[in-house]
Amino acid sequence: MYFLKLDTQAKSCHTFQRKKQVPILLILILANFLQTRKYIIPVIVGGVAIFAVFATDNPILRNVMGLTSFFEVKNVVYLDYLTAYPFASVVNITLLLTGLTLFFLIKNPTTKVKLLYLYVTVGFTLVFFIFVANRYPALKYASHIFPIFIMLYIYLTVLFTRISGKKWLTAIFAVLWIFSSLNFSSKYFDKNFGKTHPSFGNPSIAYQTLLDRFDPKNEVILGQYLRTYYLRGLGNKDRIINMRSHREYSFPAFWKDINEYGAGWVVIETRKLPHMDTKVLKYIIKFFKKIHGTGIDHTNIEMFHFNREMIDESVRYFRSVKTTE
């Protein structure tokens, strides 16, 4: 009954009637809630079109699918990227969660639709970039959605002040917005694009360790997107194995290589970790010795050393696990 009432009110709202183009996710939600032909027909047509694209094995679709992982990654850093402004992340997240209650408190159907649009957009964005997008995390990929988050924050603060009717609450939000705006460029961009961000590695530091300790006669280097400029003094380049990209380097290939050579180094840029096969990455982290990278320094180069003893230890571990099962 509630949504039937909302449908009647929405039809009478000329502002909403003029909006002929709305995002597909919003159409899906409205079709489910309002149960009207205006939204059900586009959903059916869109569903048939999407099925046709998948059925024809479109090459463009294959390229796009190669950049998605479907809940195999957890780039939670996007939550920080998109909720770090205008206020502290915990404040913004609280504001977003509390703002959901406004959908049930506000009577105006146009305001409800605006809120629905903004929440659907930011919600889908967070889920997609955190759990689906198979690229190294960077604000630049979600920068086009950042203004939508700002719009929602502004809209929520305006609605909260209107509903409360308290001048002191309006004054608090006004001061917070002024302060955060003055503080925005100096700290936010430095945090997300500064020298310590994963997009800026320090190969000159990490690679020097490789040059100093690499044994070209007995070791091999497994690298992904290696900065060969820093390896000019390495000598024998034949001992470098390319781990390729987009999870093309499978665990069987990895297992064959490390057993064939028995000892060596694994070098991956921190920002490129999502490109690694999940099984390969988990194995490296569990059994190899970490020399540089997350948790050790700010080189943003994940560097590991391994030898035959570590490989044999992993074999014993897997056998013990299999035995207990």
Q: What is the sign, positive or negative, of the torsion defined by CA atoms of 308, 236, 292, 189?
A: negative
Q: Is 135 left (phi over 0), alpha (psi -120 to 50) or beta?
A: beta
What 3-state DSSP class applies to 85?
A: coil
Q: What phi, psi does 180 have (nearest 5°)?
A: -65, -35
Task: Report DSSP state, residue 311.
Answer: H
In the chain, the amino acid numbered 286 is K
pLDDT of residue 17: 37
Edge to edge, what strands does the sheet with 220-224 contain? 240-242, 220-224, 264-269, 301-306, 289-292
Residue-wise pLDDT tens for the chain (325 aa)?
333 333 333 343 333 333 444 455 556 655 655 556 666 666 666 666 666 666 666 666 666 666 677 777 788 888 888 887 777 788 888 888 988 888 888 888 888 888 888 888 888 888 888 888 877 777 778 888 888 888 888 888 888 888 777 778 778 877 777 777 665 555 555 565 555 555 566 778 888 999 899 998 899 999 988 887 888 777 667 788 998 876 788 999 999 999 999 999 999 988 888 788 889 999 999 999 999 998 898 888 999 999 999 999 999 998 887 776 6
pLDDT of residue 145: 87
Q: What is the sign, positive or negative, of the torsion defined by CA atoms of 69, 75, 81, 83?
A: positive
pLDDT of residue 45: 67
Beta strand segments in 243-283, E: 264-269
Dihedral, 261, 264, 266, 267 alpha carbons, nearest 10: -130
In the chain, the amino acid numbered 322 is K
Q: Please provide the DSSP assignment of 278-300 as one string.
A: HHHHHHHHHHSEEEESTTT-SS-
Look at the chain and count its residues: 325
In the chain, the amino acid numbered 53 is V
pLDDT of residue 287: 96
pLDDT of residue 268: 92
Residue 289: count other Cβ atoms within 10 Å of its Cβ. Answer: 10
Per 3-state DSSP, what percentage of the chain is helix, strand, and coil (rounded to 5)?
A: 65, 10, 30
In the chain, the amino acid numbered 285 is I
Picking from 263, 257, 271, the residue whose alpha carbon sits closest to that of residue 302 is 271
Q: For the whole model, what pTM was predicted? A: 0.51
